[in-house]
A and B are shown apart, each in its own frame.
Chain A
Amino acid sequence: MHVIINGKPEDISLGTTIQKLIEAKKLDPSRVVAELNRKIVPGDQFQETKLQEDDRLELLQFVGGG
């Protein structure tokens, strides 16, 4: 299944949840914020939110800044 994650095309298996994706990238889900097709997905919905074909997902985290 084709999706765009942080602007890059990726192929992921059908039914992959946001939680699984974050874990596969070895990131801490409590420190990631997700936006799926321009809508914020609260952290407590990562487990149940499955990606669909052509979804656009943004995964962000806090970094150093001033």
Chain B
Amino acid sequence: MREIPEDLFEIRGKRLGSRLFLGTGKYGDDALIPDVCAASGAEVITVALRRVDPDAHTGNVMDHIPRTMRLLPNTSGARTANEAVRIARLARAMGCGDWIKIEVIADNNYLLPDGYATVRATETLAAEGFVVLPYVNADLYVARDLVSAGAAAVMPLGAPIGTNRGLQTREMIRILIEEIDLPIIVDAGLGLPSHACEAMEMGADAVLVNTAIATANDPVTMARAFGEAVRAGRLGFLAGPGAQRMRADASSPLTGFLGGDGA
């Protein structure tokens, strides 16, 4: 088999072997998380930060995250840039590294990220040495501002969080892939392995999937399916797809036909 040239994927010099990032929300049973990690091949996983609730006797999600995974805490719950910065600093104080996924969301119906506030939070946190991965709308101007602000990647949404509606923003994501010289990690809305595969075929650098895996009937098998879809999509991109055309173009030779009746 022909070897594909080495396919490096790095975020701020940290080399990653998988282009699938996982979330840890919405699992019916957090004890599935280790098997989900193993089945998906993912190496990066997100968590959120919340007030402790001693009365809630749910275990700690950290009990289920394999130590080999790189933690990507998010700033969910932040409605302003300052709140995101505050959450990011607290998350780093937990001692699990300096990666942070910035989410600044002040919209309750669609959970759409506030690009302006996200850029401000990115600027502050990048200057403090954080590796900042901001969750944003697939918007070229916001993405350019994030580059200037020192982001380590850009995470455009495919569709609103938790909707499983797939790559609704594909044309805008295509533009980000073309124009932005940072890893593009499609986050949110990817509901099926085929959605993730499509993003990777387009040239996205990675995808983040939570709801689609966590709420599947069989999360472990779905994790494997997403892992394979991401690899397949990446290979498809690297292989260089052939051109599309409207009219048929025969794959079999158009000469040397067997003679017809009476020939």
Residues of A within 8 A of B (CB): 6-7, 25-28, 31-33, 35, 40, 42-43, 58-66
Contact = CB atoms under 8 A, between A and B. Distances in A.
Given A59-B52, A63-B48, A66-B211, A40 B26 contact: no
Given A6-B51, A33-B90, A63-B61, 18 more contacts: A26-B54, A33-B49, A40-B93, A43-B95, A58-B90, A60-B90, A61-B50, A62-B94, A64-B23, A64-B27, A65-B23, A65-B48, A65-B74, A65-B76, A66-B24, A66-B25, A66-B76, A66-B162
Contacts, number: 88
Given A66-B23, A66-B26, A60 B50 contact: yes
A35 B210 CA distance: 29
Of B74, B89, B94, B162, chain A has the most CB atoms within 10 Å of the CB of: B94
Contact of A65 (B25, B54, B93, B95): B25
Given A63-B47, A64-B47, A65-B25, A32 B52 contact: yes
B98 interface: no
B30 A64 contact: yes
A64 B49 CA distance: 8
Say whether chain A's binding surface is mostly helix, strand, loop, or mixed: mixed
B46 interface: yes
B46 to A, nearest CB: 6
Interface residues of B, number: 35
B161 interface: yes
B90 A65 contact: no
Most chain B beta-carbon neighbours within 10 Å: one of A26, A27, A40, A61: A61
A42 B93 contact: yes
B60 interface: yes
Contacts of B8: none
Contacts of A66: 23-26, 46, 48, 74, 76, 161-162, 188, 208, 210-211, 214
A42 B89 CA distance: 11
A27 B52 contact: yes
Contacts of A28: 60
21 contacts: A7-B51, A28-B60, A33-B90, A33-B91, A40-B90, A42-B93, A43-B93, A43-B95, A58-B90, A61-B60, A61-B62, A63-B48, A63-B50, A64-B24, A64-B27, A65-B24, A65-B25, A65-B46, A65-B48, A65-B210, A66-B76
